[in-house]
Each structure stands twice: as C-alpha cells, then as structure tokens.
Amino acid sequence: QVQLVESGGGSAQAGGSLTLSCVFSGYGYSSSCMGWFRQAPGKEREGVAAIYIPSGNSYFTDSVKGRFAISQDNAKTAVNLQMNSLQAEDTATYYCAARLLRSCWNWDIPPVEFDNWGQGTQVTVSS
C-alpha cells in the first residue's frame, strides 16, 4: 500500500519562500514519476512540476519556471518542492502524487494518470 504524506505548507509574504516535502512509503518509489499539483478555490487541479525518479529529469509549468525547484531525496524516499519568489497566484492546496512504475514526460500529465495522492497541504501567499 503506497502512502504519500506532504508537509511544509503554510503562509508566506509575496517574494518569500516555502519548501514542501512529500514522503513516499510503500513499493515503487525508485521507478516512479512523482508530481506536484495545486488547486485553488473554484479552479481545476493543475500540474505544477514532475520528476522521474530513475533519471531525475524534471518538468515545470511555465508559471513557476525559474522560481520553483523539485528535488528527490532517495534515502528518505521523498520529493521536495522548493518554492521561491512566491506570488499571490501561488495560493492553493498543493498535492503530491505518484505515477507508479511509470515515467514522466512533461509537467502536464493529467491527474487521472497518477495512482496515489497525498492529503494536500495549504499554501497561502499574501501580497
């Protein structure tokens, strides 16, 4: 049974930084695609970033390129999302997701392609 547990959300001022962490427990981390999504009130869930664990190849939506970074911590079977230069538009609930034993090819892989989801963590950016 795969479980994903996110942490690190909270509040920040515009221009500030937050780091989200997603710890993966269960089988398949080392061969999977891990994604970060976000959903703002009244909006659809959108992909933010993705990383393919075997290669470390990462992908970002245009709105966060140059501001967000995604990294893997294989010893902890975790994926981190470092968010810098935060903007009010980044306010959302952020979700970690796993696409088990399959690859990533872009940041906009549909949510239905992911097998497991974390509970979400709120990020609020005030201007």
Q: Tens-digit pLDDT profile for the chain (127 aa)?
A: 999 999 999 999 999 999 999 999 999 999 999 999 999 999 999 999 999 999 999 999 999 999 999 999 999 999 999 999 999 999 999 999 999 999 998 888 999 999 999 999 999 999 8
Cα torsion angle, 105, 51, 98, 89, sign: negative
Query: 76: Cβ–Cβ under 8 A, 6 or more apart, which residues?
Result: 23
- Contact call for residues 123 and 108 (beta carbons, < 8 A): no
